[in-house]
Each structure stands twice: as C-alpha cells, then as structure tokens.
Amino acid sequence: MSKPRRIERICVFCGSSAGVDEQYSRLAADLGTEIAGRGYELVYGGGNLGLMGAVSRAAYNGGAKVYGIIPGPLAAKEIAGETIGTIEVVETMHQRKARMAELADAFVTLPGGIGTLEELFETISWIQLGIHSKPMGMLNVCGFFDSLLQLLAHQIDQGFIAARYRGLLVVEEEPGALIDRLLLHETPKSSVRWITPAQA
C-alpha cells in the first residue's frame, strides 16, 4: 500500500444553490466538519449561498481556516451578508480557479450546476496537461453524479479519454471515506508536461 500523502488544504467545488434535496446541504456541511475535524483548511469559491455556504460555514464553525476566492464582480451575487473566513478578491474567473488550485493539495466536487462542472473539468484537464497531479474526489450524494460517471466511462470505452484516467476521480458517498481514499490515491500522471501553469 502506498504511503499517505500530505494534505493541508482541500479545495471544494460545489453549487452556489442548495438544490432541492436537503441531503445536499447536509453532506456539504458534513464535509466541512470533516475537513475541520482533521485539522485541514478549506479553499472554496468565497460565496456564502447554497452548498458553498453550507460547507464553508461548517468548516469555519469547526475551527478550520477558510479561504474564499471570489472575483470582484461576483461578490455581490454570491455573498449575502457576512463573509465566511478570509476572502481574497481576484479580478477574473480564471484567476479564481488558478488561485484555488495553487492553494489546494486536493480537490473535492460536490453537487452543483454549470459552474461546478466547469471547475471540475478544467481542473481534471490540468492533470491531463501535466500541470498538476493533485488528487481529485467526488462526493456522489444520492447518486447525483451517476450519469456523469457513466458518460466518463463511455468516453474511455469509445477511445476519447486515455484508459489510464479511469480511476482518476475518487468517488465516495461519505466525506470521511472520501478523504481516507484521497490520502492514499495515486493520481494517474500525464505522459508529457504539455504546458506550464502560467500558460494554462
């Protein structure tokens, strides 16, 4: 078995909405509590609405350092009332993702919308490009991601994604089990470093 990797900060990608099932917020809060309980820090998109609010509030209340990275123009839309943790205001969406990726040692995706998928897939694509090899997890709350995972498997079967990336995403239903696996996970490496972080 491989030696556990060192994780200090976990970046969470998740919806700025809460979704229709209260399980989403419950699991987001459980993840925040788990991150705090293990002594990790949280990096997230800086908003305090929806699942972003649930995970960051729970992590903060559990004693974790929380870093929110938000583009100035979005702050009015995604922050209602008091901010949670340390908020870093950047200029663009791209700077936000780059900064979140720079700070984090691992990524976890929770249910969300287009923005969540955009963050997930750009970060995965950076593994393919050889920009990073940080572990990526997904909390598959109530089977939310089943159809997406089927599509990814189909893309591999049809020859559009290299077979070595089949185990790239660590998928679990409970935060504790997910983090345990991320600690041991070997991210499949890109064969080439196509571009540098500055060129991303």
Binding site for ligand AMP (CB under 6 A): 15-17, 45, 47, 74, 78, 93, 96-97, 112-116, 118-119
Cβ 21 to ligand AMP shortest distance, Å: 15
Cβ 147 to ligand AMP shortest distance, Å: 16
Cβ 53 to ligand AMP shortest distance, Å: 11
**Which CB atom, from 10 or from 185, has the smaller least distance to ligand AMP?**
10
**Nearest 5°: phi and psi at 44?**
-155, -175
The residues facing 86 across adjacent strands are 67
Helix ranges (H only) for the chain are: 22-37, 50-61, 72-78, 93-103, 114-128, 146-157, 175-184
Q: Torsion angle, CA of 90/80/64/2, rounded to 10 degrees?
A: -60
Cβ 159 to ligand AMP shortest distance, Å: 28
**Which CB atom, from 26 or from 193, has the smaller least distance to ligand AMP?**
26
**Which CB atom, from 60 or from 183, has the smaller least distance to ligand AMP?**
60
Cβ 48 to ligand AMP shortest distance, Å: 11
Cβ 78 to ligand AMP shortest distance, Å: 5
Residue position matching structure tokens 């809460």: 18
The residues facing 132 across adjacent strands are none
Supply the angle between the helices 175-184 and 22-37 in degrees, to the nearest 10.
Answer: 50
Which residue, judged by CB position, is nearest to ligand AMP in the bound state? 115
**Which CB atom, from 12 or from 179, has the smaller least distance to ligand AMP?**
12
The residues facing 43 across adjacent strands are 11, 67
**Which CB atom, from 48 or from 187, has the smaller least distance to ligand AMP?**
48
Q: CA neighbours within 13 Å on the CB side: how many for 51?
A: 28
Structure tokens, 70? 């938000």
**Which CB atom, from 101 or from 185, has the smaller least distance to ligand AMP?**
101
